[in-house]
């Protein structure tokens, strides 16, 4: 269960190490910032919900949130300068942890026998991705309802990790995702639920929701595995009206392993007016049952992070992000993607963004948003209730199959084998096309998966053929 009384949040990604400035003080003033000051002031009031407010183009980046969670860099789109003028802000400057970015921290976790050492390895993995972010203060495009994005990672040991995501709610926004590396017994389920607020000369993304990381070869529950519940810090964009624009991660995040009674309380420290530094972290790892503090955490989330054994006073580098290189995922070519997959859906908008054609970008973006409104109106007239295609509602409560996972809201609608990697890979590929050359209902080798069904498209009420999430046994 989530930690009582703790702010809950979800866990996801940001951008490339090559894009990362050394500190918050290295952020640049955006060229159009001063030109829109009066426009913003006319709309914003302290505490306002930014999803209802129009903000200038320089805070956006040319990719959807579903894509942003993985920190996927579209290599065919070229440089990423400006964005269309005054699009809705939605998830303002939403920077997340790239939880698949560093396989050297990801893949060994399930091989460690000692539960405390294993927990420390999860913390290392969790902290390793915060340095990855886009230049400046940016936010991704708001996904439309039912938008999907899939990709995969090829790891050095010739194994793969698979990612599937869908926008499962529009108001409030919820982005649900599933990740699995079958050969390494690692699975992650999460739902990102950001709330944006205007705070004067700053904006905040309050990160709600959770992610559940499972080590499937550990724990007493042989199906669910050993579970780690993760939240993430809030994000603050400073200087959005005047002064130098920069972002900070702030407040507390938590990693908890209920089965082993271990809890990490990690504070992302914001810089004070007269003291402190940017990008600092602090925290502890303790045994919840006994209250004993085992380790102290310190350092910079974009530099060296240290782990100190409280009993022995031994201090070591937990992770050094200064020169760390991340692993980039692979997405299918555009001509293999469906119309509601992120890269194809937003292609014309992104082209215009990268060309700095503000008018065309606004027009293309508006077309997509207007279509979403028209679809919602048609569903209302026809009495069609919308349901995600790839995710199902969590069945929580005592004794239910998703007990303890209620804060996910949605979970992948598939039974994936926890102990047989070959079967698991087939089941994952049956959820949706993920790898290059795969079409709906087939494996990467073109074999039919025999689980294609007729199901109502809840976007429009039309009937459409697509892959059932459950693999035939």
pLDDT at site 161: 95
List Cβ neighbours of 297 (8 Å cut-off, separation of 6 or more): 123, 127, 264, 266, 281, 282, 283, 284, 285, 305, 306, 307, 308, 318
- Strands 139-141 and 60-64, by their bridges, are parallel
- Strands 186-198 and 202-208, by their bridges, are antiparallel
The answer to whether residue 231 sits within a structural domain is yes
Cα angle, residue 225 at apex, residues 424 and 449 outer, rounded to 5°: 15
For the cut 70, the answer to whether the pLDDT of residue 27 exceeds it is no
Q: Residue 454, Cβ neighbours under 10 Å: how many?
A: 9
> What percentage of the chain has pLDDT greater than the value 70?
71
pLDDT at site 2: 37
The answer to whether residue 257 sits within a structural domain is yes
The answer to whether residue 104 sits within a structural domain is yes
- The CA distance from 228 to 260, in Å, is 10
More confident residue, 3 or 283: 283
For the cut 80, the answer to whether the pLDDT of residue 329 exceeds it is yes
DSSP state of 346: T
Q: Are 256 and 262 in contact (CB under 8 A)?
A: yes
For the cut 80, the answer to whether the pLDDT of residue 221 exceeds it is yes
For the cut 50, the answer to whether the pLDDT of residue 78 exceeds it is no
DSSP strands (E only) in 90-218: 139-141, 148-154, 160-169, 174-181, 186-198, 202-208, 211-215
Q: What is the pTM of this model?
A: 0.80
> What percentage of the chain has pLDDT greater than the value 90?
49
- The CA distance from 145 to 457, in Å, is 12
For the cut 60, the answer to whether the pLDDT of residue 359 exceeds it is yes
Find how far residue 222's CA is from the centre of its chain: 27
How many helices, marked H, and strands, marked E, lie in the chain?
8, 20
For the cut 70, the answer to whether the pLDDT of residue 186 exceeds it is yes
> 98: helix, coil or strand?
coil
pLDDT at site 300: 95
Q: Which stretch of 3-12, 115-124, 211-220, 385-394 has the lowest confidence by average pLDDT?
A: 3-12
The answer to whether residue 1 sits within a structural domain is no
Backbone angles phi, psi at 191, to 5 degrees: -135, 125
Q: What is the mean pLDDT of residues 17-23?
A: 36
The answer to whether residue 134 sits within a structural domain is yes
- Interval 90-119: pLDDT, tens: 333 333 446 677 888 999 999 999 999 999
Strand partners, 298: 282, 306
- The CA distance from 139 to 92, in Å, is 5
- Specify burial of residue 38 (Cβ count, 10 A radius: 0-12, 13-18, 19+): exposed
**Domain count within the chain:** 1
More confident residue, 461 or 339: 339
- The CA distance from 245 to 61, in Å, is 15
pLDDT band at 52 (very low <50, low <70, confident <90, very high): low
pLDDT at site 415: 95
- Interval 438-459: pLDDT, tens: 875 555 554 544 433 333 333 4
pLDDT at site 389: 96
CATH at 275 = 2.40.160.120
For the cut 50, the answer to whether the pLDDT of residue 375 exceeds it is yes
- The CA distance from 133 to 370, in Å, is 30
pLDDT at site 61: 65
Q: Within 13 Å of residue 104, how many CA atoms lie on the same side as its CB? A: 10
- The CA distance from 433 to 435, in Å, is 6
pLDDT at site 309: 98
Give me the domain span that covers residue 121.
17-320
Residue showing tokens 């209802």:
52
The answer to whether residue 64 sits within a structural domain is yes
Write down the mean pLDDT value for the chain.
78
pLDDT band at 316 (very low <50, low <70, confident <90, very high): very high
The 10 Å CB-count burial string (b at 16+, else e) for 133-161 is bbbbbbbbbbbbbbbbbbbbbebeeebbb
Cis peptide before 172 (omega within 30 of 0): yes
pLDDT at site 60: 54
The answer to whether residue 434 sits within a structural domain is no
- The CA distance from 365 to 352, in Å, is 10
pLDDT at site 236: 85
Q: What is the mean pLDDT of residues 455-472?
A: 35
The answer to whether residue 325 sits within a structural domain is no
For the cut 90, the answer to whether the pLDDT of residue 201 exceeds it is no
pLDDT at site 101: 73
- The CA distance from 84 to 470, in Å, is 41
């Amino acid at each position: 269960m989530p930690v009582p009384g703790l702010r809950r949040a979800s866990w996801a990604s940001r951008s490339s190490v090559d894009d990362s400035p050394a500190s918050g003080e290295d952020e640049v003033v955006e060229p159009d910032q001063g030109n829109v000051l009066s426009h913003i002031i006319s709309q914003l009031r302290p505490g306002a919900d930014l999803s209802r407010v129009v903000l200038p183009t320089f805070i956006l980046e040319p990719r959807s949130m579903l894509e942003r969670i993985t920190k996927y860099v579209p290599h065919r789109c070229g440089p990423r300068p400006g964005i269309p003028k005054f699009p809705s802000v939605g998830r303002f400057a939403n920077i997340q942890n790239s939880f698949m970015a560093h396989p050297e921290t990801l893949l060994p976790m399930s091989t460690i026998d000692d539960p405390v050492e294993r927990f420390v390895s999860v913390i290392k993995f969790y902290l390793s991705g915060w340095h990855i972010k886009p230049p400046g203060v940016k936010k991704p495009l708001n996904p439309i309802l039912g938008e999907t994005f899939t990709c995969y990672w090829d790891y050095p040991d010739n194994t793969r990790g698979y990612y599937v995501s869908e926008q499962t709610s529009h108001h409030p926004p919820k982005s649900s995702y599933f990740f699995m590396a079958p050969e390494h017994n690692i699975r992650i389920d999460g739902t990102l639920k950001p709330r944006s607020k205007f705070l004067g000369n700053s904006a905040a993304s309050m990160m709600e929701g959770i992610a559940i990381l499972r080590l499937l070869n550990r724990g007493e529950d042989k199906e669910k595995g050993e579970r780690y519940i993760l939240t993430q810090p809030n994000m603050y964009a400073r200087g959005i009206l005047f002064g130098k624009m920069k972002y900070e991660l702030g407040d507390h995040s938590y990693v908890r392993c209920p089965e082993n009674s271990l809890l990490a309380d990690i504070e992302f420290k914001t810089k004070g007016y007269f003291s402190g530094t940017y990008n600092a972290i602090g925290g502890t790892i303790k045994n919840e049952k006994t209250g004993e503090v085992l380790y102290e955490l310190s350092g910079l989330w974009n530099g060296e992070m240290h782990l100190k054994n409280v009993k022995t006073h031994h201090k070591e580098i937990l992770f050094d992000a200064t020169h760390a290189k991340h692993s980039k995922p692979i997405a299918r070519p555009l001509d293999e993607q469906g119309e509601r997959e992120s890269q194809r859906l937003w292609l014309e908008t992104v082209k215009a963004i990268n060309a700095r054609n503000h008018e065309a970008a606004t027009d293309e973006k508006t077309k997509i948003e207007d279509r979403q409104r028209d679809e919602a109106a048609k569903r209302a007239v026809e009495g069609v209730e919308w349901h995600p295609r790839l995710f199902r509602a969590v069945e929580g409560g005592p004794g239910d199959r998703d007990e303890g996972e209620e804060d996910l809201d949605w979970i992948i609608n598939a039974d994936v084998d926890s102990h047989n990697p070959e079967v698991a890979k087939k089941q994952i590929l049956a959820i949706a096309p993920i790898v290059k050359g795969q079409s709906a209902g087939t494996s990467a080798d073109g074999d039919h998966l025999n689980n294609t069904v007729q199901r109502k498209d809840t976007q429009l009420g039309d009937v459409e053929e697509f892959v059932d999430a459950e693999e035939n046994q």
